[in-house]
């Protein structure tokens, strides 16, 4: 088996759901960091499924404090080790879900990044507050049905597009920002090893599927995550010392967003009869903008351009 447990870091037996992307990505990232690391964790699914007292899945040193302070706790660990002359020999790794990172924990994260603390912060982006029962977060995508952004007779679900957290991080001028996906799980370990060579604050966001929250097939999590990228809805890239390096584009070309949306219960309402087609056009236009941003105007496929044109026309008609 290529993805064996490294029991010096994480032991098997934790209680995540079947097909949990957060569990997979966390293990691969943590193992790549290795046992000579100290991990901090926001409150959230990964914290709960690894740390029921008196057992802990963590064989490497690990601390969970609160929902919103993982980055600041990591900073505290970093300064303690620095003072004791143990940096950068030890990797200090802050982790948290999208809620703990992009919403309630954004302030602590911004502080750590702006101060230049030599830590790697990793956000598991499953696009909602899963641990508390699938509520909307700032990283929930447009039109996703969650328990606090429900689709209904007068609602298509979440009414805002995702907050662009990686760009917010990049605006801090930090040496490394990366967006990865559990869909390309083989890339995670080498990527993390490379990142850890960089001194200073580093931010990595990993797109992880939550079959429970997304109402998707647990056997197809990795496939679904790849579709998020291949449709242009979840761009993957690195910004290393200010230079943006997009992930190589999908081998077989960009795909229509329906292929990503359809297998997920959280977007089911978009495929019911009615005027939801216009919503899908809107989502397709978001994908077009992402593709244009990272791969240039020529890379945008015709069906995506058509969606943009349709939207523009509709806007003109209402104006």
Partner 1 sequence: MAPQGRQEILEGAMAVAHAVARCRPEVIAAYPITPQTHISEELSTIVADGELQAEFVKVESEFGAASVCLGASAAGARAYTATSSQGLMLMAEVLWNIAGMRLPVVLACANRSVSAPLSIWCDHQDADSIRDCGVIQLHAEDAQEAVDQHVIAFKAAEDRRVLLPVMVNLDGFLLTHVFEPVELPDQALCDAFLGKYEALYKLDPGDPMSFGCFTEPDKCMEGRWMIHDACLRSAAVIEEVSAAFARTFGRNSGGLLEEYKSADADTVLVAKGSICGTIKDVVDELRDKGRRVGLVRIKTFRPFPRDRIVAAVRGAKRITVVEKGGSFGSGGVVTPELKDALYDAGLRIPVSGFCVQLGGREVAPDGIQEIIDRVEKGEQVHYEYFRLKKAILPDLVP
Structure tokens that stand for 251 in this block: 């081998």
Instruction: State how far the alpha carbon of 179 is from the alpha carbons of 33, 118, 169, in Å.
Output: 17, 19, 11
| Closest residue to Mg ion, based on beta-carbon distance | 97
Q: Is 49 in the site for ligand SF4 (CB under 6 A)?
A: yes
Cα of 86 vs its chain's centroid, Å? 30
Q: Are 191 and 180 in contact (CB under 8 A)?
A: yes
Q: How far is the CB of 81 from ligand SF4 (least distance, A)?
A: 30
**Cβ proximity to ligand SF4, 126 vs 231, nearer residue:** 126
Q: Is the dihedral of CA 183, 184, 189, 195 positive or negative?
A: negative
Which of 60, 71, 130, 196 lies at the binding interface for ligand SF4 (CB under 6 A)?
130
Q: Is 123 in the site for ligand SF4 (CB under 6 A)?
A: no
Q: Which stretch binds ligand SF4 (CB under 6 A): 19-27, 86-94, 235-243, 256-264?
A: 19-27
Q: How far is the CB of 22 from ligand SF4 (least distance, A)?
A: 4
Q: How far is the CB of 275 from ligand SF4 (least distance, A)?
A: 31
Q: How far is the CB of 97 from Mg ion (least distance, A)?
A: 4
**Cβ proximity to ligand SF4, 17 vs 222, nearer residue:** 17
Q: What is the DSSP letter of 261?
A: H
Nearest-angstrom CA–CA distance, 243 and 240: 5
Which of partner 1, ligand TPP, Mg ion, none does residue 147 bind to, with CB < 5 to 8 Å depending on kind? none
Pairing assessment for the beta strands 91-97 and 120-125 based on DSSP bridges: parallel
Which of 16, 31, 57, 95 lies at the binding interface for ligand SF4 (CB under 6 A)?
16
β partners of residue 92? 38
Q: Is the dihedral of CA 87, 187, 250, 262 positive or negative?
A: negative
Q: How far is the CB of 146 from ligand TPP (least distance, A)?
A: 11
Which of 19, 94, 96, 97 lies at the binding interface for Mg ion (CB under 5 A)?
97
| Non-local CB neighbours of 80 within 8 Å, separated by 6+ positions | none
């Amino acid at each position: 088996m290529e993805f064996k447990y490294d029991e010096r870091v994480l032991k098997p037996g934790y209680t995540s759901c079947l097909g949990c992307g957060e569990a997979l990505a966390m293990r691969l990232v943590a193992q790549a960091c290795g046992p000579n690391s100290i991990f901090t964790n926001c409150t959230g699914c990964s914290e709960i499924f690894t740390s029921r007292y008196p057992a802990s899945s963590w064989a490497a040193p690990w601390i969970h404090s609160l929902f919103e302070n993982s980055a600041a706790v990591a900073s505290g660990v970093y300064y303690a080790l620095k003072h004791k002359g143990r940096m950068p020999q030890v990797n200090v790794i802050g982790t948290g879900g999208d809620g703990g990172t992009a919403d309630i924990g954004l302030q602590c994260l911004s502080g750590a990044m702006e101060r230049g603390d030599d830590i790697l912060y990793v956000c598991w982006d499953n696009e909602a507050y899963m641990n508390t029962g699938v509520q909307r977060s700032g990283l929930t995508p447009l039109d996703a049905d969650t328990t606090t952004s429900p689709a209904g007779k007068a609602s298509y679900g979440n009414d805002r597009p995702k907050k662009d957290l990686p760009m917010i991080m990049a605006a801090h001028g930090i040496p490394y920002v990366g967006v990865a996906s559990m869909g390309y799980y083989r890339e995670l370990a080498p990527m993390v090893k490379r990142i850890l060579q960089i001194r200073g604050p580093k931010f990595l966001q990993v797109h992880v599927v939550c079959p429970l929250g997304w109402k998707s097939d647990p056997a197809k999590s990795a496939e679904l995550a790849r579709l998020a990228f291949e449709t242009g809805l979840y761009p993957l890239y690195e910004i290393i010392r200010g230079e943006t390096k997009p992930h190589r584009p999908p081998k077989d070309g960009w795909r229509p967003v329906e292929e990503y949306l359809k297998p997920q219960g959280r977007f089911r309402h978009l495929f019911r009869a009615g005027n939801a087609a216009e919503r899908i056009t809107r989502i397709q236009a978001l994908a077009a903008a992402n593709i244009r941003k990272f791969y240039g105007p020529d890379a945008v496929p015709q069906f995506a351009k058509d969606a943009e044109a349709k939207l523009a026309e509709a806007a003109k008609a209402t104006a």
